[in-house]
Amino acid sequence: MNKKIIIIAVQVVVLIAAVGGTWFFMHEPEPEPVAVVGTDGKPIGEETNAKKEPEYYSLSPSFVVNLQNERGIRFLMVEIDLMSRKDDVFSRIEQYEPRIRNDLLMLFSKLDRDAIATAEQRQGLQNEALAAINEVLKAESGKGGVEAVYFTKFVIQ
Residue among 112, 151, 146 at smallest CA distance from 131: 146
Q: What is the pTM of this model?
A: 0.66
Residues 44 and 69 in one domain: no
- C-alpha 58 chain-centroid distance: 17
SS3 state of residue 111:
coil
Tell me the per-residue pLDDT of 27-58, one tens digit each, with 9 for 90 and over: 666 666 666 766 666 666 555 556 789 999 99
CB-neighbour burial class of residue 71 (10 A; exposed 0-12, middle 13-18, buried 19+): exposed
Residues 67 and 9 in one domain: no
Write out the residue range of the structural domain in which residue 97 sits. Answer: 51-156
What CATH number is associated with residue 118?
A: 3.30.479.30
Residues 43 and 116 in one domain: no
Looking at residue 137, what is its pLDDT?
Answer: 94
List average pLDDT for each run of 10 residues in the chain, which is 157 residues long: 80 76 69 66 58 91 86 88 93 95 94 89 95 95 93 92
Residues 13 and 83 in one domain: no
Distance CA 120, CA 21 (A): 61
Q: How far is CA 4 from CA 10, 17, 18, 49, 144, in A?
A: 10, 20, 21, 63, 85
Looking at residue 103, what is its pLDDT?
Answer: 96
Domain count, the chain: 2
Looking at residue 44, what is its pLDDT?
Answer: 63
